[in-house]
Amino acid sequence: MVEKKRVAFLASGGGSNLQALLNAMREKDFPALPVLLVSNKKEAFALERGRNAGLRCEFVDPKLYPSREDYDAQVLALLRDCRIDLVCLAGYMRILSPLLVRAYAGRILNIHPALLPKFGGEGMFGHHVHQAVLDAKETESGASVHFVDEGVDSGVVVAQARVPVLKGDSVETLAKRVLEAEHLLYPQALRKVCEAV
């Protein structure tokens, strides 16, 4: 049997994508093993989800590190300590420094709640994305899983899921529809990457 990839998650929030990944990874034939969860937020519910799944969970406090590089050096030390092969960002609200991106080049994934390259980049997070989609009168939106490079939302797209924008949609209704699509997409994309690397 092919050895499973050892996966770490970086998360800052509720972690519903993390949960979808953890659920998928319970399947016997899933080619990856959840190992480590790192959060920059002590109260993140994602930490709770990680603990419930039996992962090593670490809160790395940004206040203790003078720069983004210093912070990421600590994250990198944890990744190396756990012999991590792939990193999944799951609602991680920090921009990664080049130190981390270069150390794990081609091995860090992120999920973004829009059809990249549209509606990505600085400031395009959370509800801002869906508001921009509605303002642009798009008829469809969706989610993208992409590799993380040194830009913001600019790495190669691995997989996308499309959802319609419906008449009368609010930011909330659209966000909910996109999030449901994310929960199916991220595990599929991770599987695809595991089988390719």
Which residues of this chain interact with ligand GRF, rule CB under 6 A? 13-18, 90-91, 111-113, 179, 182
Q: In which residue are the tokens 């930490």 written?
A: 47
The DSSP letter of residue 155 is S
Least Cβ distance, residue 35 to ligand GRF (angstroms):
18
Least Cβ distance, residue 82 to ligand GRF (angstroms):
21
Least Cβ distance, residue 65 to ligand GRF (angstroms):
22
> Of 112, 130, 146, 183, which one is the catalytic site residue?
112
Beta strand 108-112 pairing with 86-89? parallel
Q: Using alpha carbons, select from 18, 33, 12 the residue that is nearest to residue 86.
A: 33
Neighbours of 122 (CB within 10 A): 9
In this structure, are residues 100 and 72 in contact, taking their beta carbons and an 8 Å threshold? yes
Least Cβ distance, residue 129 to ligand GRF (angstroms):
8
Q: What does the DSSP assignment read for 71-100?
A: HHHHHHHHHHHTT-SEEEESS--SPPPHHH
- Residue closer to ligand GRF, measured from CB, 31 or 91: 91
- Residue closer to ligand GRF, measured from CB, 62 or 126: 126
Which residue has the CB atom at the shortest distance from ligand GRF?
Answer: 91
Q: Does residue 112 carry a catalytic annotation?
A: yes
- Residue closer to ligand GRF, measured from CB, 12 or 73: 12
User: What are the catalytic residues?
Assistant: 112
